Amino acid sequence: MDVRVIFTLVLCLVPVWTCMINSERCCDEETLQRTAKKKLGSLYPQPPEPASVADASAPATCPLELYQKMLLLPEIKDRSLSPWRYITVTKPNHFPHTYVEAECLCQGCILVHENGSVEESHDYNSAVITQTRVFLKRVPCSNGTTYRLMPVSEQVAVGCTCVKYKSS
């Protein structure tokens, strides 16, 4: 066989071999759970969850009274001029199924004046700070009874900041 023929044959087969090596195999729910846990532990480590998580069904309110008391609050989320709380988000077809996301408590930003008065100013806006996070998504296989895992990147709110009002 000619070297050029062999070289051409190898070039044609490399994508096939790569596809076979990289493709996720379809598996049952139990195996999928184990595989997701293993991959999240090694390939896609997850950030630690915050200690305090709020009830997402409770309305988010701007905590002006905390700033009037001038308390020494330990958490950055409570001392920010754009405070936030953490809520739990659930996505059944993702691994992990639940994660924590920041939710801004004020539309504007908290201003503390020299005389001690506190107000929420709408000359500024509270804006979320996002971070890209990798999740494993459960994707049905063509047979309809098994699944494979597909890594997906999503933006997750991790905090809030105060920004100048954007005018048109």
Domains in the chain, CATH or no CATH each: 25-164 (2.10.90.10)
Residues across the chain: 168
Give the helix ranges, DSSP H, for the chain. Answer: 3-22, 29-42, 64-68, 76-79
C-alpha 18/C-alpha 31 separation (Å) is 23
User: What's the pTM value of the predicted model, to 2 decimals?
Assistant: 0.72
List the chain pLDDT tens, one digit each, 168 residues.
565 555 454 444 443 333 333 345 899 999 999 999 999 988 888 888 887 888 888 888 888 887 766 566 667 676 788 999 999 999 999 999 999 999 999 999 999 888 878 899 999 999 999 999 999 999 999 888 899 999 999 999 999 999 987 766
**Do the beta carbons of residue 26 and residue 148 sit within 8 Å?**
yes
